[in-house]
Amino acid sequence: MSEGGASVSERPEAATAASGRAGLPPAIELRGINKSFGPVRANRDVSLVIQKGSIHGIVGENGAGKSTLMSILYGFYQADSGEVFVDGRKANIVSPDDAIAAGIGMVHQHFMLVDPFTVLENVVLGAEGGALLAEGKAKARSELQRLEHEYSLEVDIDAVVGDLSVGLRQRIEILKALYRGAETLILDEPTGVLTPQEADHLFRILASLKEQGKTIVLITHKLREIMAITDNVTVMRGGEVAANVATKDTDTEQLAELMVGRKVLLRVEKTPAQPTETVLTVTGLNVVDGAGVRRVKDVGFTVRAGEIVGIAGVAGNGQSELLEALAGIRQPASGHIRVRDQDISAEHAVDARGMRELGLGHVPEDRHRMGLVMPFAANESSILGYHYDPAYNGRIIMERQKIIDLCAAQMKAYDVRPDNPLLTSANFSGGNQQKIVVAREMERNPDLLLVGQPTRGVDIGAIEFIHRRLIEMRDAGKAVLLVSVELDEIMSLADRILVMFDGAIVGEVAQSEANEQVLGLMMAGVSPDAADEVA
Amino acid sequence: MAGAAANTGVPRWVAVGLLPVINLLAAFLVSGLVILAIGENPLRALAILLNGAFGYQEGIGFTLYFTTNFIFTGLAVAVAFHCGLFNIGGEGQATLGGLGVGLVLLYLDFLPFVLILPVAIAAAVVFGAAWSYLPGLLQAKRGSHVVITTIMFNFIASALMVYLLSQILIKPGQMSPESREVAQHTWMPFMHDIFPIARSPWNGSFIVALLACAFLWVFVWHTRWGYEIRTVGANASAAVYAGISPSRNIILAMVISGGLAGMLGVNEIMGVNHRLILNFSAGYGFVGIAVSLMGRNHPVGIVLASLLFGALFQGGADLAFEIPKITREMVVFIQGLVILFAGALEYLFWPFLVAVFGREADTALAAAE
Amino acid sequence: MMRTLLGAAAAATMFVASASWAQDVKPAVVFDMGGKFDKSFNEGIFNGAERFQKETGIEYRDAEVTAEAQREQFLRKFAQQGFDPVIAVGFAQGPALEKVATEFPDTRFSIIDMVVDLPNVQSIVFKEHEGSFLVGVLAAMASETGKVGFVGGMDIGLIRRFACGYEQGVKHVNADAEVYQNMTGTTPAAWNDPVKGGELAKSQFDRGADVVYAAAGGTGLGVLQAANDAGKLSIGVDSNQNYLHPGSVLTSMLKRVDVAAYNVYKTAADDTWAAGIQVLGLAEDGVGWALDDNNSALISDEMKATVTQVRQDIIDGKIAVHNYTDNNECSF
């Protein structure tokens, strides 16, 4: 084990002191880990024990220190102080190579794969075992087939990675780690990119890995996942361990409270909607993407002032394209979008700026790709889409101070931290970035608000805040269209729920009639009546 | 890169001030070793270089004359860069700009200077802009990469100039492909005509260059059009989301970039040569890339970097002049080292600076999910 | 042997060796854009200056121009620092020299290939037409087809002067001979396009020419190569290029810029330097034709006798060679 560079020394008393079930030493033990970046203490005296052959969850809000901790374990960072024990022996991990040699594998949130290479080539990448590729590949092929068989990780090992789905790519990452001899697997937010079905499949794989004696560390912010598959859970808050508990002894409310440090309202309180006139009417809308594929198929619906209409569906079923067409980012191929009296169609296309001028606000699905300009200062990001507003534009000169003041006011109203309009957008946490976007779009007082995945990658405190704001918008008489892949979010916020499957709307369900089973079946393309019967 | 500075918490002055200085010193150190190797005293060489660039009035004049050229081409590269474009067509755009200036001075010389000046500058801008409009249009509408098209347009510009100067604009009965000298009242005044200083090619174009810096600063950071260009450059998807047309801004940025490069023609044709000649762009367009890079695409940085390269050109010429063993190729080598360390190896010493000055800016970042 | 030229050089050497005025001169030279190792014009000057330095032990200083504005800068600098005499290489330095020479009336300047009319400037130009006449005579005598070619570099008056002198020489021997003329281009690039030079030569061979004269700088190397490949004869230019393709290069028209540079320094040291226009022709050994071991087999005794006679006739004024740039036409 030490041949890979990790120096591992015996430390018998630790092994006995922290031994887990059946007297085995724990797979990983961290003791008193401290890590500071300048004045900021990212990890503060963190100690935890991960039992061999268990699934161990680590939860915490953005910035709680869980990624830093795992980066230390995987050798990206060095701890300022503290000790790491692997299999009861002190390990000195100073690089990912050391971690791999110590039997620790990591599946990153963003996959580290080479798209034009085949699965096999990706797996042997960095572990070719000699100058001649053919020999290493032949060896890898038989080893991979064994691993696939053993852990039911079916992938066509000769497929080109670029052609595979996200779920399959994740399996390759797991295979890569196993191929390098990982006994402990760290998965960083593994379900963030998966459909519910793919997530289920992943959990089955993790369970089978556990049965084979592997140890799994699952980093996530989704409490339901923690409850579903982990044995033990560590809650982190502000760089410290808030709790180490057995999963069976806790529940989501308690975990949420531990994470945030106060009581959290997971359900949204709201009164029944009182919709008035129709603001948005969509009829026969078709959207074709750049590759010529029809992504939105004959979609029609309405949104009235004073209601939230939710669009549910598994990611990739046309919701994104629908939202972009409504926002003026994509032009419809055919059909009509009517905002109040204004008709928009392929013949009368309106761009995003034109749509805003019709009274539309848009919180985009992806704040990194669209919502913010990361290298810009926060105040510049806070006028994205409204940069032409005469409120801060002279004939030529933009009045920067007015923009900064505007941004500062929005930051205050939406509790953005730090409330510094001059700070670069990229330097805010995910939740605060999202608040900047939400503030920008809501404070313009739009008649129609399009909202895509408003709480993706956002911590619990911010989710609560954003949800409350959406309800307030509705109650103020705005029309809100909410697109989300989080069923919980749709069910708690939307007054009416539309389900999209394969570009078309499968059906509509009122909030009062919605339940997970019915919606789940509709998301798989089953019509509402049939879904009712099955349910 | 602002991003690199932001993510490591290194103080801003280290990133924008200390790092370039260290890179410069590294370049000088390597140059010094080479000078030592050919048996000359590097300290004496440095003294000659500095004295040549700043030690006497004529030298300063030459330094500032070169600086003027680099400001124009550096600004041109910077504005395109803010839109995410790499305009390496400064040479061709400058050539066309000079053609525009030359035509005005040759054929509109019945105008008084007060009219000639704005018309000539406008011609430089329009001709340079026209030459970058097509690459911009092709990039915006057809996705033809500007790096390819602008470099091809450099060759076309050079060929066009050769044709015009050898066939049409050449002074009759003259051997070299040059136009006649333009009327003296159309010349940009030399600084030594205005102030009591030694003769040098330093002329009024320098003031035009400083005004161009001020224009760029206002345009890029303090107008909604500059905001649009920067948005397209930083994140084209976000631009579309905001209703900003990437293609329109790509064309706009290229046109402004070409116009700025074209103004090099004001310095060279109206200010110094007073006739149309071949190859007056002389590589300034390419050095502009290094200038912009080193100046962090900011006008203040570009002026400083231009001054540096101006000093290297003038001090280097003096160096080759004073020490026969140091040939002009050697001077180009030293300039190349500066470009190498300041440009290609810009972050060579960065990890070291991070280790010394770094700290994480905020917790959110340190543990970013 | 290059009798005449070597004779002059030898005389100069003997003279210099015994002199003691050496300390009075601080010679300098400003090369033009091409740089001193351009294998052509600038390098010729460089060779002359080097020879002076070697023979006298007097060091000279040089500078190479990289930007238009530096011509004036360097000339002025040399003058300021007390260098004397200063050579300005090439006609492009004319305007700059005019300014600087006015500012420094006590400094002696020499400019090659250009006339600057100032009391302290010596302008050195060459009678390329005379040298070209001689090689034209040789070409006509060597030709079996009665058709000869000329490949020029950049189409300027200077090169037409070469062509016109050549044509006169050819017609002097054989009034019915045909002379094909081609210019490589109209820009400085035409000085360095050996591929096109070779193509032009080939097309002239196709039309029946069997001797071709290249007055085209680096382009000429392609012409000489093409002649060698086709088994034809060629004539080199400026320096002695006979050695490039022995047995194929008939001769070379020599333009002794090196001698000119050498003489500037020598006469300055000698205090015989004089301002004004120096036109170097056959009489002054400024131009000539090259005969050495590489081409002696190609030059028959009859040819040698004829060309020697013609040379003397030109020097004596019995043959008047028309200079193209006198009236910008080749009328004779």
Q: What secondary structure does DSSP assign to C127-161, as a single string? A: -HHHHHHHHHHHHHHH-SSSEEEEEEEE-SHHHHH
Nearest chain A residue to B8, by CA: A37
* Residue C80 contacts B where some CB pair is shorter than 8 Å: no
| More confident of the two residues A223 and B56 | B56
CB contact under 8 A, A428 and B364: yes
Residue A17 C-alpha, separation from nearest chain B C-alpha, in angstroms:
31
The whole-number pLDDT of residue C163 equals 95
Nearest chain A residue to B4, by CA: A375
Say whether C128-254+285-327 and C2-127+258-280 share the same fold: yes
Chain B positions contacting chain A at CB under 8 Å are: 2-3, 6-7, 9, 218, 221-224, 227-228, 230-231, 234-235, 237-238, 240-245, 358-369
Query: Is-contact A203 A216, C-beta < 8 A?
Result: no
From the candidates B68, B158, B166, B171, which should be mutated to test the interface with C, based on the most C CB atoms within 10 A?
A: B166
Query: Does the structure show a pLDDT above 60 at B34?
Result: yes
Calculate helix-pair angle for A196-211, A133-151, nearest 10 degrees: 90
Nearest to C134 by CA among C178, C175, C172, C161: C172
Most confident of A252-256, A311-315, A385-389, B4-8: A385-389
| Cis before C85? omega within 30 | yes
CB nearest to C69's CB, from B65, B175, B278? B65
Nearest chain A residue to B231, by CA: A373
Q: How far is CA A298 from CA A61, A285, B109, in A?
A: 40, 5, 67
Query: Does the structure show a pLDDT above 60 at A15?
Result: no
DSSP alpha helices (H): ranges in A74-165?
96-101, 119-124, 133-151
Which amino acid is located at A486 in the chain? E
Query: Does the structure show a pLDDT above 60 at B6?
Result: no
Which chain C residues are closer than 8 Å to B278 by Cβ? Answer: 187-188
CB contact under 8 A, B242 and A372: no
Which chain C residues are closer than 8 Å to B282 by Cβ? Answer: 66-67
What mean pLDDT do residues A489-502 have?
92
Task: State the Cα torsion A505-A510-A511-A516 to the nearest 10°.
Answer: -50
Its CATH class, for the domain covering C2-127+258-280, is alpha beta
Here the tokens at position A196 are: 């519910």
CB contact under 8 A, A457 and B359: no
CB contact under 8 A, A373 and B358: no
Within 10 Å of residue B130's Cβ, how many Cβ atoms? 17
CB contact under 8 A, C156 and B175: yes
The whole-number pLDDT of residue B3 equals 40
List, in order, residues 6 or more apart from B244 with CB less than 8 Å away. A353, A387, B228, B231, B232
From the candidates A384, A393, A407, which should be mutated to test the interface with B, based on the most B CB atoms within 10 A?
A: A384
Most confident of A207-211, B12-16, C202-206: C202-206
pLDDT tens by residue, C260-279 = 999 999 999 988 999 999 99
Q: What is the mean pLDDT of chain A?
A: 86
Here the tokens at position A238 are: 């502000």
pLDDT tens by residue, B321-353 = 888 888 888 888 888 888 888 777 777 888 888
C128-254+285-327: what fold? Answer: Rossmann fold (3.40.50)
pLDDT tens by residue, B184-219 = 999 999 999 999 999 899 999 999 999 999 999 999
CB contact under 8 A, C187 and B62: no
Q: How far is CA B11 from CA A473, B231, B354, B357, B361, in A?
A: 42, 25, 9, 7, 10
Query: Does the structure show a pLDDT above 90 at A31?
Result: yes
Provide the CB-side half-sphere exposure for C49 (13 A, CA): 23
A vs B, Cβ pairs < 8 A, gives 136
CB contact under 8 A, B273 and C68: yes
Task: State the Cα torsion A269-A274-A279-A283 to the nearest 10°.
Answer: 90
Query: Does the structure show a pLDDT above 60 at A242?
Result: yes
Which chain B residues are closer than 8 Å to C328 by Cβ? Answer: 173
Residue B357 C-alpha, separation from nearest chain A C-alpha, in angstroms:
9
Query: Is-contact A392 A403, C-beta < 8 A?
Result: yes
Which chain B residues are closer than 8 Å to C62 by Cβ? Answer: 324
Helix and strand numbers, DSSP H then E, in chain B = 19, 0
Here the tokens at position C33 are: 């854009």
Which amino acid is located at A147 in the chain? L
CB nearest to A429's CB, from B6, B224, B364? B364
The whole-number pLDDT of residue A131 equals 65
The whole-number pLDDT of residue C35 equals 80
Do C and A make contact via 3 or more CB pairs under 8 A? The reply is: no
Q: What is the mean pLDDT of chain B?
A: 89
Rama region for A188: left / alpha / beta (φ>0; ψ in -120 to 50; rest): beta
Query: Does the structure show a pLDDT above 90 at A530?
Result: no
The whole-number pLDDT of residue A425 equals 92
Nearest to A360 by CA among A451, A437, A289: A451
Rama region for A113: left / alpha / beta (φ>0; ψ in -120 to 50; rest): beta
The whole-number pLDDT of residue C69 equals 84
- Helix then strand then coil, % of chain A, to nearest 5: 40, 25, 35
* Cα A319 versus chain centre, distance: 17
Indicate if the alpha-carbon torsion angle C203, C209, C214, C218 is positive or negative: positive
Where is average pLDDT lowest: A34-48, A260-274, B226-240?
Answer: A260-274
Nearest to A459 by CA among B364, B42, C176: B364
Here the tokens at position A54 are: 């268990």
Which chain B residues are closer than 8 Å to A461 by Cβ? Answer: none
CA distance A140 to A142: 6
CB contact under 8 A, C157 and B328: no
Give the model's confidence band at B171: pLDDT under 50 very low, under 70 low, under 90 confident, else very high: confident
The whole-number pLDDT of residue C9 equals 44
Residue B271 C-alpha, separation from nearest chain A C-alpha, in angstroms:
31
Which chain B residues are closer than 8 Å to C31 by Cβ? Answer: none
* Residue C53 contacts B where some CB pair is shorter than 8 Å: no
What mean pLDDT do residues B93-119 have?
96
From the candidates B68, B175, B309, B335, which should be mutated to test the interface with C, based on the most C CB atoms within 10 A?
A: B175
Nearest to B293 by CA among B76, B92, B62, B5: B76
Which chain B residues are closer than 8 Å to C157 by Cβ? Answer: 173, 175
The whole-number pLDDT of residue B139 equals 95
Which amino acid is located at C170 in the chain? V
Query: Is-contact A426 A375, C-beta < 8 A?
Result: yes
Helix or strand (DSSP H, E) at C244: none
pLDDT tens by residue, C225-242 = 999 999 999 999 988 889
Give the model's confidence band at C62: pLDDT under 50 very low, under 70 low, under 90 confident, else very high: very high
Complete edge-to-edge strand list for the sheet that includes strand A240-246 = A104-107, A184-188, A215-220, A55-60, A232-237, A240-246
Which chain B residues are closer than 8 Å to A400 by Cβ? Answer: 221-222
Query: Is-contact A254 A242, C-beta < 8 A?
Result: no
Nearest to B23 by CA among B347, B365, B335, B256: B347
The whole-number pLDDT of residue C7 equals 43
CA distance B126 to B265: 12
CA distance A367 to A425: 11
What mean pLDDT do residues C132-161 have?
93
Q: Phi, psi (5° rounding) for residue A268?
A: -95, 130
Which DSSP string do the residues of C218-243 spell out, in sequence order?
Answer: THHHHHHHHHHHHT-EEEEEES--GG
The whole-number pLDDT of residue A485 equals 83
CA distance B240 to A349: 14
CB contact under 8 A, B324 and C61: yes
The whole-number pLDDT of residue B136 equals 96
CA distance A97 to C280: 79
CB nearest to A352's CB, from B230, B243, B363? B243
What mean pLDDT do residues B97-106 have?
97
Which DSSP string do the residues of A399-418 spell out, in sequence order?
Answer: -HHHHHHHHHHHHHHTT-SS
pLDDT tens by residue, A266-294 = 667 788 889 999 999 999 999 998 878 89
CA distance B309 to B5: 25
Nearest chain C residue to B314, by CA: C70
Most confident of A147-161, B236-250, C144-158: B236-250
Query: Is-contact C107 C101, C-beta < 8 A?
Result: yes
List, in order, residues 6 or more apart from C141 with CB less than 8 Å away. C173, C300, C302, C303, C306
Query: Does the structure show a pLDDT above 50 at B1?
Result: no
Strand partners, B190: B203
Give the model's confidence band at A17: pLDDT under 50 very low, under 70 low, under 90 confident, else very high: very low
Do C and B make contact via 3 or more CB pairs under 8 A? The reply is: yes
Which chain B residues are closer than 8 Å to A418 by Cβ? Answer: 362
CB contact under 8 A, A427 and B6: yes
The whole-number pLDDT of residue A389 equals 93
Q: What percent of chain A has pLDDT over 70?
A: 91
* Residue C327 contacts B where some CB pair is shorter than 8 Å: no
CB contact under 8 A, A397 and B3: no
Here the tokens at position A169 are: 């790519």
pLDDT tens by residue, B257-288 = 999 999 999 999 999 999 999 889 988 999 99
Query: Does the structure show a pLDDT above 70 at A39?
Result: no
CB nearest to C187's CB, from B62, B278, B282? B278
What mean pLDDT do residues C240-265 have?
92
Query: Does the structure show a pLDDT above 80 at B126?
Result: yes
Residue B341 C-alpha, separation from nearest chain C C-alpha, in angstroms:
24
Nearest to A466 by CA among A496, A442, A498: A442
Between CA A451 and CA A460, with CA A456 as vertex, the angle to 5 degrees is 110
CA distance B271 to B190: 7
Q: Residues for chain A: how many in total?
A: 535
Query: Does the structure show a pLDDT above 80 at A56?
Result: yes
Which amino acid is located at B133 in the chain? Y
Which chain B residues are closer than 8 Å to C68 by Cβ? Answer: 268, 272-273, 277, 280
Nearest chain B residue to C90, by CA: B176
CB nearest to B362's CB, from A40, A329, A383? A40
List, in order, residues 6 or more apart from A447 with CB less than 8 Å away. A279, A305, A339, A340, A359, A360, A478, A479
Q: What is the ipTM of this complex?
A: 0.84
Which chain A residues are closer than 8 Å to B236 by Cβ? Answer: none
Query: Does the structure show a pLDDT above 80 at A193?
Result: no
Complete edge-to-edge strand list for the sheet that includes strand A81-86 = A7-9, A89-92, A81-86, A28-37, A40-50
Q: What is the mean pLDDT of chain C?
A: 88
Q: Phi, psi (5° rounding) for residue A237?
A: -145, 125
pLDDT tens by residue, A93-106 = 888 889 999 999 99
Kindly list the structural domains of chain B, giving each domain's residue range(s) and its CATH number in brackets, ordered by start.
22-27+40-364 (1.10.3470)
CB contact under 8 A, B241 and A371: yes
Complete edge-to-edge strand list for the sheet that includes strand C233-238 = C178-185, C147-154, C211-215, C233-238, C249-255, C287-289
CB nearest to A329's CB, from B3, B240, B361? B240
Q: How far is CA A514 from CA A439, A531, B73, C237, in A?
A: 30, 11, 64, 97
Which chain C residues are closer than 8 Å to B177 by Cβ? Answer: 186-188
SS (H, E, C) A57-93: EEEECCCCCHHHHHHHHCCCCCCCEEEEEECCEEEEC
In chain C, what are the domain boundaries? 2-127+258-280, 128-254+285-327
Query: Is-contact B285 B278, C-beta < 8 A?
Result: no
The whole-number pLDDT of residue A78 equals 87
Query: Does the structure show a pLDDT above 60 at B58?
Result: yes
CA distance B331 to B337: 10
CB nearest to B364's CB, from A63, A369, A380? A63
